[in-house]
Amino acid sequence: MNSSPCPYIGRFAPSPTGPLHFGSLVAAVGSYLDARAQLGQWLVRMEDVDEPRCSQAHADDILCALEDFGLEWDGAVLYQSRRKQHYQAALDRLIEAGQAYPCACTRREVADSSLKGIEGPVYPGTCRAGLRGRAARAWRVRVGEATICFDDRLQGRHCQRLALDIGDFVVRRADGCFAYQLAVVVDDAEQRVTHVVRGADLLVSTPRQIHLQTLLGYATPDYLHLPVVMNQAGQKLSKQTLAPALEARNAGRDLVAALGFLGLQPPLVLQTASVAEILQWAIEKWRRNFSLPSTCSASAVR
């Protein structure tokens, strides 16, 4: 384990596929409070690497919404769509190290696999030994047999055996887009992110990211995965489930509701407070509720 003092750098990284909704607000507020409670930096990154689904208009709307809620970020906003050369460089390193290989399999072929994992079919390694004359479609990274574990500050210890749960996973898709798993790892490393606070729906992705961090020689951040907001049908609140967009006129009310969802128990007096006053109260409350280690550490155990 690697341990040394370092400044706190956190981030909020939405995908600009639609306007900010309450579920996204909860993630933004949680990551913001965690950073400010530690007197750390809070970065904003637009995860628009999946360009067909994202737009600059949605990115601009999200930034405006963050301003409406008083969530001021540090530095310039980073856009993944402008960083393809960085992801390609990381992929080239994996290829040179023999850790990534081309794959000719279609989605249907992978789906026909009898191996089932935590996110659907487990890739059976069909192209590990070569393409057998077929054209390459995507690039996959090899996973080892070891179990990857990490300690989440809220969810506790979480372990995965990637070979059984996921299989060799895609880092560059058949359409040429780089996969989220690779892009987020490269960006977190280059932005020197020390703490990742995000929704628990991404908990199962973390071992894959730790695996890539290890292969690329990057440090592993501290993780805190927040509860996910659900709608009345029991579905994750998202653009796909038609979550309503936030409105500036309701900023104070929605901010207090987000604090309540995060378990901070905001007092009634905050209902009439300004956004700045609400956030100041929340930062102090978060500081008391969430104790952080005084060092940054690589928490993966292989």
For residue 57, give the CATH number of its domain: 3.40.50.620
Residue 116, pLDDT score: 87
Pairwise CA distance, residues 251 & 264, whole Å = 17
Residue whose C-alpha is closest to residue 42's, from 2, 79, 71:
71
Residue whose C-alpha is closest to residue 176's, from 50, 10, 293, 18:
50
Tell me if 47 is assigned to some domain. Answer: yes
Q: Which amino acid type is present at position 198?
A: R
Pairwise CA distance, residues 59 & 54, whole Å = 8
Tell me if 213 is assigned to some domain. Answer: yes
pLDDT band at 295 (very low <50, low <70, confident <90, very high): very low
Q: What is the rounded average pLDDT of the residues 57-73?
A: 96
Tell me if 299 is assigned to some domain. Answer: no
CA atoms within 13 A on the CB side of 122: 15
Tell me if 254 is assigned to some domain. Answer: yes
Q: What is the rounded average pLDDT of the residues 210-220?
A: 98
More confident residue, 224 or 112: 224
Cα 268 to its chain centre, rounded Å, is 33
Which residues touch 40 (CB under 8 Å, ≥6 apart)?
Answer: 7, 8, 9, 10, 34, 194, 195
State which H helix or E strand residue 196 sits in: strand 195-199
Tell me if 302 is assigned to some domain. Answer: no
Q: Which domain holds residue 241?
A: 3-291
C-alpha angle 96/97/101, rounded to 5°?
Answer: 70
DSSP state of 43: E
Residue 33, pLDDT score: 97
Q: Is the pLDDT of residue 281 over 50?
A: yes
How many domains, the chain?
1
pLDDT digits (tens, 9 = 90+) for 78-133: 999 999 999 999 999 999 999 999 999 998 888 887 688 998 899 999 999 999 88
Pairwise CA distance, residues 33 & 282, whole Å = 7
Cα 298 to its chain centre, rounded Å, is 17
pLDDT band at 1 (very low <50, low <70, confident <90, very high): very low
Both structure tokens of 12: 């909020």
By mean pLDDT, which of 20-34, 44-58, 107-121, 237-251 is the weakest?
237-251
pLDDT digits (tens, 9 = 90+) for 34-56: 999 999 999 999 999 988 889 99
